[in-house]
Structure 1
Amino acid sequence: MILEEATKLASIICPVFNMAGRLQTLKEWVGKLSSNPQIEIIIINDYSDEATSAELRAIYEENENLKLIEGNFGNPGSARNAGLEICQGKWVIFWDSDDKPDVENFLTLLNYIDVRSPDICFGVYKIFNEISHLTSESPAWSSDTRKDLNTVARNPGIWRIVFARDLIQGLSFEPLRMAEDQIFICQAISRASKFVFADNQIYTYFTGSNSHLTKNSAALQDLLPAFKKTSEILKLSTGQVAPFLSLMAAKQMMSGSRHGNMRTRFGLLAEFFRTKLFIKPTFLNALRAVIQTSVRGA
Structure 2
Amino acid sequence: MGKQKQMTRDTKVPLSTPLVSVIIPAYNAESTIIRTVRSILLQNYENIEVIVVDDGSTDNTANELKSISGDNQRVRLVTQNNQGVSVARNRGIQDARGEYIVFLDSDDFLEPEFVSVLVSIISSTDSDIAFCSYRWVDERGKSMRLVVPKNDEGLVKEGESVLLSIFEGSMSIWTGSAIYRKAFLSKNHLQFVPGAKNGQDREFIWKAVLKAKRIVGTERILSNYVIRNNSLVKNKDISKAHTLGCIRRIGKYLRSNTRNERILSIFEKRIVPRDYTALVYFFAIRGFDKRKLLEIARNSGYRSQLKRIRLRYAKLSEYLATRALLLAPRATILLFRVVGRRLRKDLLD
- Regarding TM over 0.5, the answer is yes
Alignment of 1:36-47 (within 5 A): 36=46, 38-47=47-56
User: What is the match of residue 279 of structure 2?
Assistant: 256
User: What is the match of residue 207 of structure 2?
Assistant: 187
1:234 paired with 2:254, answer yes
Letter in 2 for 1:67: R
Letter in 2 for 1:94: F
Change (3 A) 1:163 1:209: same
Supply the distance in 2 between the matched residues of 1:87 and 1:268 (Cα, whole angstroms): 45
User: What is the match of residue 38 of structure 2?
Assistant: 28
1:15 paired with 2:22, answer no
Over the residues paired in the alignment, what is the CA RMSD in angstroms? 3.8
Q: Deviations over 1:48-102 (max 9, x none)?
A: 2241222123334332222211112332111111101111222211111111201
Contact 1:23 1:98 in 2 (8 A): yes
User: What is the match of residue 83 of structure 2?
Assistant: 74
User: What is the match of residue 224 of structure 1?
Assistant: 244
Supply the distance in 2 between the matched residues of 1:22 and 1:219 (Cα, whole angstroms): 22
Change (3 A) 1:67 1:82: same
User: What is the match of residue 159 of structure 1?
Assistant: 176
Q: Which residue of the other structure, out of 96, 102, 108, is the alignment partner of 1:99?
A: 108
| Unmatched segments (≥5 aa) in structure 2 | 1-16, 284-291, 323-335, 340-349
User: What is the match of residue 3 of structure 1?
Assistant: none
Supply the distance in 1 between the matched residues of 2:50 and 2:71 (Cα, whole angstroms): 13
Tell me the percent identity. Answer: 18
Query: Displacement, 1:265?
Result: 4.4
Q: Deviations over 1:112-133 (max 9, x none)?
A: 2211111222211111134994
Query: Displacement, 1:41?
Result: 1.4
Query: Displacement, 1:278?
Result: 6.5
Change (3 A) 1:34 1:104: closer
Q: Which residue of the other structure, out of 205, 208, 217, is the alignment partner of 2:225?
A: 205
Larger of the two Rg values belongs to structure:
2
Contact 1:13 1:80 in 2 (8 A): yes
Change (3 A) 1:225 1:161: same
TM-score, with structure 2 as normaliser: 0.68
1:90 paired with 2:75, answer no
Contact 2:35 2:109 in 1 (8 A): yes
Q: Deviations over 1:222-243 (max 9, x none)?
A: 1221122122123233337546
1:171 paired with 2:190, answer yes
Change (3 A) 1:171 1:24: same
Letter in 2 for 1:291: E
Supply the distance in 1 between the matched residues of 2:99 and 2:141 (Cα, whole angstroms): 39
Supply the distance in 1 between the matched residues of 2:83 and 2:112 (Cα, whole angstroms): 29
Q: Deviations over 1:2-60 (max 9, x none)?
A: xxxxx953211111111223333124224325982x22211111122241222123334
Change (3 A) 1:82 1:128: same
Supply the distance in 2 between the matched residues of 1:290 and 1:88 (Cα, whole angstroms): 45
> What is the aligned residue count?
286
Q: Which residue of the other structure, out of 306, 314, 318, is the alignment partner of 1:291?
A: 318
| Unmatched segments (≥5 aa) in structure 1 | 1-6
User: What is the match of residue 135 of structure 2?
Assistant: 126
Q: Mean alpha-carbon deviation: is it higher for 113-122 or for 151-160?
A: 151-160
Q: Mean alpha-carbon deviation: is it higher for 286-295 or for 170-179?
A: 286-295
Change (3 A) 1:76 1:235: same
Change (3 A) 1:58 1:161: same
